[in-house]
Amino acid sequence: MHFAYPPRKSSNPPPFRPRTSALPTIRSRRLKTIALAFLAFLTLVWLFQRGGSRRHAPPAYHKPSGNPPAVIVTVFNEGKYGKGYLDMVKENRLKYAEKHGYGTFFVKASDYDLRGAPISWASLPAVRHAMAMFPDASYIWYLDQNSFIMNPNLKIEEHVMKPSRLEELMIKDHPVVPPDSIIKTFSHLKGHDVDFVLTQDKDGLSSSSFVVKNGEWAKFFIETWFDPIYRSYNFQKAEQHALEHIVQWHPTILAKLALVPQRILNSYSKEKGGQEYKEGDLVVRLYACGEAGEDTCETESQRFAQWKAAFQNS
Amino acid sequence: MSLSRSPSPVPGGGWASPGLTNNLSPSGRSSPTKAYAGGSNGTPVMWERQKNMGGPAYQSFSTQNQGFFSRHMRQISSSLPRFRPENTHGAEREKIGESRWSGLNMPRLGRIRSLPGRMSRRTKMLIAFGLLFLLGYIIFYSTPLVYYYRRTAWLGGGQKFVIILAANVGGGVMEWKGAREWAIERDSIRNKKKYVAKWGYDLEIVDMSTKKRYAHEWRESWEKVDFIRSTLRKYPKAEWVWWLDLNTFIMEPSKSLQDHIFDHLEDVTYRNINEYNPLNISHPPADSYLDELSKSPIGDGNPNSIHLMLSQDCSGFNLGSFFMRRGTWTDHLLDVWWDPVAYEQKHMEWEHKEQDALEQLYIAQPWIRKSTAFLPQRMINSFPTGACSEKGTDTRIHYDQKDRDFLVNMAGCEWGRDCWGEMYNFRELSYHLNRSLWERFKEDLLCWVWFKLTGKKVKF
């Protein structure tokens, strides 16, 4: 232009250059501040993390996989019974276990040091031993030597231990030790919470046939029952009375206990002691056979010899 | 001069480049009109700066406020010593500007007063952050608020720990509870309360007075078991419970339990009792009917399976200070710990009641060993030199000031020793060892200096 003076500009010039883009431009100084603040926040978070990030997980004990599903434990009292009879008992167990894929565990009562206690106590270290030998078995079934498995078609894990079956079979709110114990079985026990199943006979709890679910509770229970202090107390009926004692005095044991009708697991040969055996029951126990004389068990067992035929036909 | 007036603040209107003079035509005429030679072509005059529209928007010419010396030269030069002839005095000094009331010195106050105004926003923000940090430190580290934030699970985890303090032992029923007993109780409780307030734990003070339900012939001394059970129920968030007898004193309250033990459980505990076995228990259990895990001397070696931590003194297990963790194992132990058949046979023989019962359970039942761990005694249960002293001072048992043991348990002080004297001495020792910096400065320096100067001992 050819003017003398530069073109007139306003006296109030705009203070800033017009925007070049829609987004705000972050000056590098502000970026530094933002980065510092973020780092400070991270530092604070890290500082406070030292407290609770370590979760103490509960220990994972070995869970039995179910192979074999059950183990039948039998303790032989070789001092008192003839070999033929004991072999017959062994055959009975083996045939039943073979049919259902169970394990068997045979021991002699003399294998264990009972510190002078009555020989019936040997059932407990035998069960504990079976738990050690079969860590993957789901159930351990202890069956008295003088009992026979009569019905090969019944499976332990269905006939007795299935949670729904237990819930229908369980005797609820019943004195744990008949006739008049004030400690009664639980009324609201869930089937899968039951770790110990047994029966009562006319006199009290019958420890001749019981099932425990393999696991940490079972180890605690068997080891508590087998405490030498109970043996030294000299209960009248040895481990049976000890069992009645601990079941009434220790609720952590009562909480896992279920009573089932006697004929499910433990029918007696005579009506005198408890419910009598009927056709189709799983087990018959030759009740008090050894007390009358040494060979009364053998003669008594002839009455129930039909198990051989039953096993052959199935 | 290539521009007729000084540059305006509008960008592009200033002394953008020295090349403005280049606009003069080669004929060398210097009249102002020639400066706009480029403009006569019809295109608008484009100063060089305007070509870079995308660059920074501020001026590139140098202002007067850049550089440290240009800003502060006046201040610095005025504070340097000035030359003055020898015989200046009074009014002449006033003229040079040296006296207090001269113009150069006065603005110091005004300078200070105008300091906030002259600070940039960045400086102000930094100072604000600094003050906030200091305030946060004060609030969160040295006031009672420390209790609340150290309790939370993600900040400190303090709510997982409950201290059970057995107070009012006997309750004055069998023996008189006089001033000394009250004083011991007060000191012990105060010590635990301070510890708990500092680290965010819970404190449960239980009454161990002689109750009828624990009378002789009936589970006497098994109250511990019932109290642990009820405490686990009362504090549902608690994972660990720490039982403390009354005659104990936490000597180092600046150590939290997490730092001392729980953050490195596997390093401080040992499961194999053969490391220190005053009872000569045969370990591992050798019964043939047991499984591999029960026969292993260290159990499964997993610190998460530890449910009971205790220490042993010269004569066996010591239950004056032990930890129990919530779990099914603990439920089982608390259930079978007392049994009437066991009690009937053994309570006359068991001098320490539930302690001996636990020893019997440990020996007879392998499932107990699987979750029991031992701590070195001086870690949670140091004894004063009067206890367990048949063989003199034992470095495994007795309190050692140099090592700054965590807790001292004045066990058995009721029999033959002075409980109050021991408690008082340990309390004073703990205060002495844990003095703050200011106290240390006063006592170690000022008092010492005063003593050296005047020969008198004084306490500030």
pLDDT in tens, A51-110: 444 555 666 778 888 888 999 999 998 877 888 888 999 999 999 999 999 999 999 988
Q: Write out chain B residues lying below 8 Å of A52, CB-based.
A: 152-157
- Nearest-CA residue of chain B relative to A32? B122
Nearest neighbour of A51 by CB, restricted to B54, B156, B294: B156
Which residues in chain A touch residue B332, judged by CB atoms under 8 angstroms apart? 217, 220, 252
Q: Do residues A170 and A259 touch, judged by C-beta distance below 8 A?
A: yes
**Cβ contact (<8 Å) for B156 and A52?**
yes
pLDDT, tens digit, for every residue of A29-40? 788 888 989 998
Average pLDDT over residues A187-216: 92
Radius of gyration (C-alpha) of chain B in whole angstroms? 40
Residue from B291, B389, B373 nearest B324 by CA? B373
How is residue B31 written in tokens? 């009249």
Q: Between A and B, how many CB-CB pairs are < 8 A?
A: 119
Instruction: Considering only residues B3 and A173, tell me which one the structure prediction assigns the higher pLDDT.
Output: A173
Q: Which residue of A has its CA nearest to B357?
A: A229
Cβ within 8 Å, pair B331-A252: yes
From A6's Cα to the closest Cα of chain B, the distance in A is 9
- Alpha-carbon torsion B377, B378, B379, B384, what sign? positive
Contacts of A1 in chain B (CB under 8 A): 36, 39-40
Taking an 8 Å cut-off on Cβ atoms, the answer to whether B154 and A6 are in contact is: no
* Cross-chain Cβ contact A51/B11 below 8 Å: no
Beta-carbon contacts of B196 under 8 Å, excluding residues fewer than 6 positions away, are B147, B163, B202, B203
Residue in the block written with tokens 């203070």 = A15
Nearest by CB to B327, which of A9, A58, A249? A58
For B342, nearest residue in chain A (alpha carbons): A229
Q: In angstroms, rounded to a whole number, what is the distance separating the alpha carbons of residues A170 and A161?
A: 11
| Measured distance CA(B358)–CA(B28) in Å, rounded | 114
ipTM of this predicted complex? 0.82
Place of tokens 């993390």: A49
Q: Is A273 helix (H, G, I), strand (E, B) or coil?
A: coil
Tell me if A245 and B360 make a contact (CB, 8 A cut-off): no
Q: Closest partner residue to A58 among B294, B304, B366, by Cβ? A: B304
Structure tokens at A39: 């780092």
Q: At what angle do helices A123-133 and A216-225 cross, to 10 degrees?
A: 160
Which residue type, as a one-letter code, is found at position B117? G
Q: Residue A43 and residue B50: Cα distance in Å, rounded?
A: 45
For residue A165, give the nearest of A66, A264, A64, A253 by alpha carbon.
A264
The whole-number pLDDT of residue B62 equals 64
Q: Do A51 and B153 touch (CB under 8 A)?
A: yes
Indicate the DSSP class of residue A227: -
pLDDT tens profile B198-209: 999 999 999 988
Q: Residue A227: list chain B partners with CB under 8 A.
A: 342, 361, 364-365
Which residue of chain B is at minimal alpha-carbon distance from A53?
B154
Residues of chain B positioned with their CB less than 8 A from the CB of A53:
154
- Phi first, then psi, for residue A212 (nearest 5°) are -120, 145
Angle B406-B142-B157 from CA coordinates, rounded to 5°? 60
**Burial track B260-270 (b if 16+ CB lie within 10 A, e otherwise):** ebbeebeebbe
How many other CB atoms are found less than 10 A from the CB of residue A100?
17
Coil, strand, or helix at residue B137? helix
Rounded Cα–Cα distance for residues B115 and B111 (Å): 6
Please report the pLDDT score of residue B38 as a whole number.
43
pLDDT value at residue B113: 82
pLDDT value of position B16: 52
Question: What pLDDT, on a 0 to 100 scale, did the predictor assign at position B300?
Answer: 84
Q: What is the rounded average pLDDT of the residues A182-210?
A: 91
A223 chain-B contacts, CB cut-off 8 A: 364-367
CA distance B341 to chain A (A): 7
Helix ranges restricted to H, A67-215: 83-100, 123-133, 156-159, 163-169
Q: Test A112 with B289 for CB contact under 8 angstroms.
A: yes
Q: Provide, as residue numbers in chain A, all residues whose Cβ is less than 8 Å from the Cβ of B40.
A: 1-2
10-residue averages of pLDDT along chain B (460 residues)? 55 51 45 44 50 53 69 74 70 64 63 82 91 86 79 81 92 87 94 93 92 79 92 94 95 92 91 90 88 86 90 92 94 94 89 91 93 93 88 84 91 89 94 89 87 82
CA distance B99 to B91: 9
The residues, ordered by sequence, that sit 6+ positions from B132 with a Cβ below 8 Å of its Cβ are none
- Give me the pLDDT at residue B35, please: 43
pLDDT at B93: 67
If one counts every other C-beta atom within 10 angstroms of the C-beta of residue A38, the result is: 10
Contact yes or no for A17 and B157 at CB 8 A: no
pLDDT (tens digit per residue) in A251-306: 999 999 999 999 999 999 888 888 888 888 899 998 877 666 656 788 888 888 88
Give B-chain residues touching A14 at CB under 8 angstroms. Answer: 10
- Is A33 close to B122, i.e. CB distance below 8 A? yes
**Mutate which of A16, A223, A232, A247 to test chain B, going by most B C-beta atoms within 10 A?**
A223
pLDDT at B167: 92
Query: CA–CA distance from B53 to each of A19, B11, B38, B50, B80 (Å)?
Result: 10, 9, 20, 6, 47
Q: B289 vs A216: CB contact, 8 Å cut-off?
A: no
Contact B367 A6 (CB under 8 A): no
Among the partner-chain residues B153, B300, B336, the one whose CB lies closest to the CB of A52 is B153
Between residues A3 and A84, the one the model is more confident about: A84
Backbone angles phi, psi at B305, to 5 degrees: -95, 5
Q: How far is A204 from chain B (nearest CA, A)?
A: 19
A268: closest CA of chain B, how far (Å): 30
Contact A135 B336 (CB under 8 A): no
What pLDDT was estimated at residue B26?
Answer: 46
Q: Do A13 and B152 touch (CB under 8 A)?
A: no
The Cα–Cα gap between A240 and A263 comes to 19
Contact check, Cβ <8 Å, B340/A252: no
Taking chain B, what is the end-to-end CA distance rounded to the nearest angstrom?
77
Q: In Å, how far is B136's CA from the nearest CA of chain A?
A: 12
Q: Looking at beta carbons, which residues of chain A come within 8 Å of B271?
A: none
Q: Do A20 and B304 touch (CB under 8 A)?
A: no
B460 to B343, B429, B439, B449, B454: CA distances (angstroms) = 58, 19, 9, 12, 15
Dist CA A277 CA A285 (whole Å): 8
What local confidence, expressed as pLDDT, does residue B31 receive? 47
| Residue ranges in B52-120 assigned as alpha helix (H) | 68-79, 91-96, 107-113, 115-118
**Whether the Cβ atoms of residue A84 and residue A105 lie closer than 8 Å to each other:** no
Nearest one of A44, A59, A54 to B157, comparing CA atoms? A54
Please state, in angstroms and rounded to a whole number, the distance separating the CA atoms of residues B155 and B149. Answer: 6
Is A129 close to B288, i.e. CB distance below 8 A? yes
